[in-house]
Amino acid sequence: MSLLSKLKELGKDTSIYGMSKVLSQLLNFILVPIYTGYLSPSDYGILAMTTLYSSLFTPVVNMGLTSAVFRFMTYTETDEERKQIISTGHIAVISLALMGLALSLLFLPHINAILLNKDIPTSYLSIAVFTAFFSAIDAMPLAILRIERKAKKVATISLVNLMLSMGTTILLVIVFKFGVYGSLYGLLIANVMTAIYMFSQVTRPNFRYFSWAELKRMLGFGLPAVPHHLQAIGMSMYGQFMVKTMLSIEQAGLYNIAWKFTMPLVMITNAVQQSWGPYKFHLHKSEGEKAAFTFGSIFNYYLAAILFVFTMMALWMPYVFVWSVNSKFYEAASLLVYLSLIPICTGLYWMLGTGIELGKSMKLLPFISFSGFMVTFLTAALFINKFGTAGAGIATSCGWLTMAVLVYFYAQSIFKVAYDWLSVLACLLVAAAVIFANNYWASDLGIWPKFGLRLLLSIGFVLGIAIVFFRNKSESARMRQALNVLKNRKKKNKNVA
C-alpha cells in the first residue's frame, strides 16, 4: 500500500471523526451569539470550572483501563480472550465510576470551595458530577468501537449526543431562561441518553468472563499512565484556574469564550488523535520497522495542515469573533492567537509520542507529564502577572511543548521514527513569518488595505509550504504522484461524460 493510500485511509477515519466535530463546532459557533446574549462572562467562568472537574473525573476512575484495552485487544487472536478483556474492563470501569461518584458527592462542599467560590452554590458542581459519571462509563464502549475502527458509528454517537445536548440546552437556556443551570442540565441529559445508546451498540459485560488476573494485567499496563493523563488535563485547565484565582471568574469566562473560537484547531488535533491511535497499530502490525518512514511522512502533512489552520485563524478569526459575540465579550478577541498555540503544541505532543504504545510499559509518561505540568505551574503566575489572561495560554503552551520534546526522545528510544526535521523547521518558519508580517504591518493600515495584506499573506503561506514540500525529493515525488492521480481521474471523468 502506497503512502498516498495510507493517508487516504487515515484521512477517511479522520474525516468521519472530524465530520461530527465539524458539525458540532459549527452549530456551537452559530449559537454563540445567542448564548452570549443570555449568559455573562461570570456564567462562562462557572461553566469552565465545572468542565475542569468533569475532565479530571474520567481518567481518575478509568485508571488507564481503556488504554490497556486498546493495547491488548489489538494483538488478541481468540474470541474468548476478547470477551474476557471487554468484560473485565467494562465491569471495572463501571465499579470505579460508582465509587468516584459517591466520593465526589461526599466531599462536594470542599471541591466547590476550591474550584468555584464559597458564595457560589454547590448545585452547579453537583450536576457536573453526575455528568462526569455518565461520561466516564461511556469511555469503554467508545474505546471498543474505535478499536474495531467503526468510525461511522462513533461519529453517529457524537452527533446524537450533540443534538440532544444542544436541543435541551437551547430549550432550557433560551426558552425557559435557566441560565447556567440550563447549560449544565442540557449536557447531563445528553450524556445519560448517550450512555444508554452506547451500551446497546457493543458487547455487554458478562460477569462470567470477569478475571482478576486480567484486571491486574490491564492495570499494570494502564495505571502508570493515569498520573500522566491527569497532569496533562490539569495542565490544560490550570491556566483557567489560575486566571480565576489571580484575576476573577469573569476573566476565566472570557478565557472560556475565546477558547471556543480555537475549536477548528482543537477539532483537527482531536480527530487525528482519535483515528491515529488505532491506525498506527494497524500500520505497525502490517509494515513492521518500515512504518518508521510512514510515520515521519504523515507527521509532515499533519504539521502543515495544523499550521495552515493556525495561520488562517490568526489572520481572519478576529473579524469572525467581533461579528459573532455580544459586545461584553469583545475583550476576549485579543486572546485568540495565544490560546491557538495550545492545540498546536498539544498536537505536536501526541504525534511526536508515536511509538510509545509499541513498548511494553509506559512508566516514564508520568515523569513527562509532571515535567510539563511543572513548567505550566511555575510560569502561569509569572505570565499572568505580565500579560494578563493571555499569559495563561502562553504558560499552557510552554508546558505542552516541554512534554512534546520529552515524549519525542522517549518514543524514539522505543521505536525510531524517521522525521524530516529540516522540513519541520521550514514549515514553522513560514507560519511564524506570516504572523509576524501581519502583526508588524497590519496595525497601521485601514480596513481594506489590511484585508488585502492578509489575503496576500494567506496565499504566501500556501506557496511557502508548497515550496518546503517540493524541496524534499520523496515528498515531492508523492505530491506529483497525487497530482497525476487527480489529473487522470479528471480526464477519465471527462471522457465518460
pLDDT tens, 135-158? Answer: 888 888 877 777 766 667 777 777
Q: How confident is the model at residue 400 (pLDDT cuts 50, 70, 90)?
A: very high
3-state secondary structure of 75: coil
With cell 501526541, the residue in question is 350
Nearest one of 161, 164, 169, 167 to 186, comparing CA atoms:
169
What is the 3 state secondary structure string of 122-165? Answer: CHHHHHHHHHHHHHHHHHHHHHHHHHCCCHHHHHHHHHHHHHHH
446 phi, psi to nearest 5 deg: -75, -175
Q: Can you give the pLDDT at residue 326? A: 81
Q: Write out pLDDT tens, residues 225-236.
A: 777 677 777 777
Grid coordinates of 360: 511494553
121 phi, psi to nearest 5 deg: -60, 145
b/e map 75-112, b = 16+ CB within 10 Å: eeeeeeebbbbbbbbbbbbbebbeebbeebeeeeeebb
Q: Can you give the pLDDT at residue 433? A: 94
Q: Can you give the pLDDT at residue 288? A: 72
Q: How confident is the model at residue 13 (pLDDT cuts 50, 70, 90)?
A: low
Task: Give dist(CA 395, CA 338) in Å, integer.
Answer: 10
Q: Write out pLDDT tens, residues 32-66.
A: 777 788 888 889 889 888 888 888 888 888 887 88
Q: For residue 205, is it left (φ>0), alpha (ψ between -120 and 50) or beta?
A: beta
Q: Write out pLDDT tens, residues 65-114.
A: 887 877 777 667 777 777 788 888 888 888 999 999 999 999 999 999 88
Q: Can you give the pLDDT at residue 267? A: 77
The mean per-residue pLDDT over the stretch 186-204 comes to 81
3-state secondary structure of 362: coil
Q: Write out pLDDT tens, residues 265-299.
A: 887 787 777 677 666 766 766 777 777 777 888 88
Q: Write out pLDDT tens, residues 402-435.
A: 999 999 998 888 888 888 888 889 999 999 999 9
Cβ contacts of residue 113 below 8 Å, gap of 6+? none
Q: Can you give the pLDDT at residue 29? A: 64
Most confident range (mean pLDDT) of 143-147, 327-331, 357-361 is 327-331
Which pTM does this prediction carry? 0.74
The mean per-residue pLDDT over the stretch 179-201 comes to 86
Are 260 and 28 in contact by the 8 Å Cβ rule? The answer is yes
Q: Can you give the pLDDT at residue 122? A: 92
Task: Give dist(CA 162, CA 170) in Å, integer.
Answer: 12
The number of angstroms, rounded, from the C-alpha of 213 to the middle of its chain's C-alpha atoms is 33
Going by the DSSP 8-state scheme, the letter that residue 446 receives in this structure is -
The number of angstroms, rounded, from the C-alpha of 422 to the middle of its chain's C-alpha atoms is 27
Q: Can you give the pLDDT at residue 487? A: 62
Asked whether the predicted pLDDT for residue 14 surpasses 70, the reply is no
Task: Give dist(CA 286, CA 291) in Å, integer.
Answer: 8
Amino acid at 162: L
Asked whether the predicted pLDDT for residue 383 surpasses 90, the reply is yes
Q: Can you give the pLDDT at residue 345? A: 92
Q: Can you give the pLDDT at residue 158? A: 76
* Helices marked H in 415-446: 421-441
Asked whether the predicted pLDDT for residue 372 surpasses 80, the reply is yes
332 phi, psi to nearest 5 deg: -75, -15
Share of the chain above pLDDT 70, in %: 82
Task: Give dist(CA 344, CA 373) in Å, integer.
Answer: 17
Segments of 186-254 assigned E as strands: none
Q: Write out pLDDT tens, residues 205-259.
A: 777 888 888 888 888 877 877 776 777 777 778 888 899 989 988 999 999 888 8
Q: Where are the domains of the chain?
A: 3-419
C-alpha to C-alpha distances, 222 to 71, 74, 97, 145, nearest whole angstrom? 9, 15, 16, 19
Q: What is the mean pLDDT of the chain?
A: 81
Q: Is 303 exposed, middle or buried (0-12, 13-18, 19+ CB in 10 A)?
A: buried
The DSSP result for 306-341, as a single string, is HHHHHHHHHHHHHHHHHHHS-GGGGGGGGGHHHHHH
Q: Can you give the pLDDT at residue 235? A: 76
Q: Can you give the pLDDT at residue 340? A: 92
Q: Can you give the pLDDT at residue 358? A: 67
Angle, vertex CA 131, rays to CA 127 and CA 134, nearest 5: 145
Most confident range (mean pLDDT) of 67-76, 322-331, 394-403 is 394-403
Are 79 and 115 in contact by the 8 Å Cβ rule? The answer is no
More confident residue, 268 or 344: 344
Asked whether the predicted pLDDT for residue 19 surpasses 90, the reply is no
